[in-house]
Amino acid sequence: MKKLLVTTFLLALIIPFFSCSTDDNEEPMLIVKFKFDKDQARLNNLGQPSTVASGNAAQSPTFNSISAHYLELAPNATTQLGNGAILYHAPETSVGGSNAIDFSQSKIVGQDEVFLKIPLSQLQSGNYEWLRVSLSYQNYSIKIRNQGVDYEGTLASFVGFNNYIGSHSIGNNIFPINGNRSQGYWAFALNNQPYSSSGQAPAGATTVPNPIASTSPIPAGSCVVTGKFPTNLVITGNETKDVTITLSLSINNSFEWREVIQDGKFEPSQEENVVDMGLRGLIPTFVK
């Protein structure tokens, strides 16, 4: 009995020791999260302050989730797209014909949820001034008006350069596509009401802020939003703690439509059409 007690006591000491040892030896990680800010500056394609276009109206949606296709750190304003430190590139497919983002394999997250977590050892050492993120999918709540009554609904917005979609859903509403949809495809469903619709924003109408467009342009039709760190992110290769990057995205009047009835209400039944679903700016920050 005495021997059993001694053995139990030793195991009680050893198990916590090994647990702490595992935690202490865990490799430091690079973690990426998203944040949505309706009060952040509303920018245009060149990263300059922008107001809602004449004849249009807009609202700041309530975001549920988002997905990205590509993430890259850029050392300076002359670093060309693809020449920085690429952190992530989502799966693509040609099943629908031309090359497209494979929506079925997209990672979709909400605010403050971890979108990307990779060992810092995979990131090359450097001094990074800018961050680029190619956004692909947004899901958010908006308000609409129909025959004088206001409702709330959910909109699925595909802003990637090209998107292969088998099917997607909003609540109990299933949207079978089985094909490619270009940037600007959207689908909408009323909350708790038997109504849904879908459509396509005009080509080239999606706003994609890039403050360094003159020195580091992005391809037309892409959704590579570019933002500058308040202070440069320096990676030495000797980090012992996680580095967490938060991508604060401006949703300041980011859902925009062409007005038919000039009342500031989105009324699809009056043939008011979506013209822009692009995010309105990016401020990346980090904690080391």
Q: How far is CA 217 from the centre of its chain?
A: 20
Mean pLDDT of the chain: 91
Taking the C-alpha atoms of residue 61 and residue 59, their distance in angstroms, rounded to an integer, is 6
pLDDT band of residue 268 (cuts 50, 70, 90) is confident
Taking the C-alpha atoms of residue 19 and residue 12, their distance in angstroms, rounded to an integer, is 11
Q: pLDDT at position 20, please? A: 41
Q: pLDDT at position 25, please? A: 60
Contact by Cβ (8 Å): 206, 279? no
Q: Is the pLDDT of residue 21 over 60?
A: no
Contact by Cβ (8 Å): 153, 144? yes
Query: Which of 16-20, 143-147, 237-241, 267-271 shows the lowest mean pLDDT across its residues?
Result: 16-20
User: Mean of the pLDDT values across residues 104-108?
Assistant: 97
Question: For the segment 233-244, what is each residue's pLDDT rounded down to a tens digit?
Answer: 999 999 999 999
Q: pLDDT at position 75, please? A: 98
Query: What is the gyration radius of the CA atoms in the chain, in angstroms?
Result: 23
Q: Is the pLDDT of residue 19 over 80?
A: no
Residues of the chain with pLDDT > 90: what percent? 87
Q: Is the pLDDT of residue 14 over 80?
A: no
User: Mean of the pLDDT values across residues 18-24?
Assistant: 42
Q: pLDDT at position 60, please? A: 98
Q: Is the pLDDT of residue 276 over 60?
A: yes
Q: pLDDT at position 147, please? A: 86
Taking the C-alpha atoms of residue 163 and residue 278, their distance in angstroms, rounded to an integer, is 16
- Name the nearest CA neighbour of 163 among 122, 134, 124: 134
Q: Would the pTM of this model clear 0.85, i.e. be above it?
A: yes
**Residue 17 DSSP SS3:** helix
User: Mean of the pLDDT values across residues 256-261?
Assistant: 96
pLDDT band of residue 2 (cuts 50, 70, 90) is very low
User: Mean of the pLDDT values across residues 138-157?
Assistant: 94
Question: For the segment 204-222, what is each residue's pLDDT rounded down to a tens digit?
Answer: 999 999 999 999 999 988 9
User: Mean of the pLDDT values across residues 199-207?
Assistant: 93
User: Mean of the pLDDT values across residues 152-175?
Assistant: 96
pLDDT band of residue 24 (cuts 50, 70, 90) is low
Q: Which two tokens stand for residue 116?
A: 């990307």
Residue 247, CA distances (Å) to 33, 72, 271 in order: 6, 12, 35
User: Mean of the pLDDT values across residues 101-122?
Assistant: 97
Q: Which two tokens stand for residue 232?
A: 């440069």
Residues of the chain with pLDDT > 70: what percent? 91
- Name the nearest CA neighbour of 61 among 133, 140, 138: 140
Taking the C-alpha atoms of residue 270 and residue 147, their distance in angstroms, rounded to an integer, is 9
Q: Return the residue matching tokens 């012992």.
A: 240
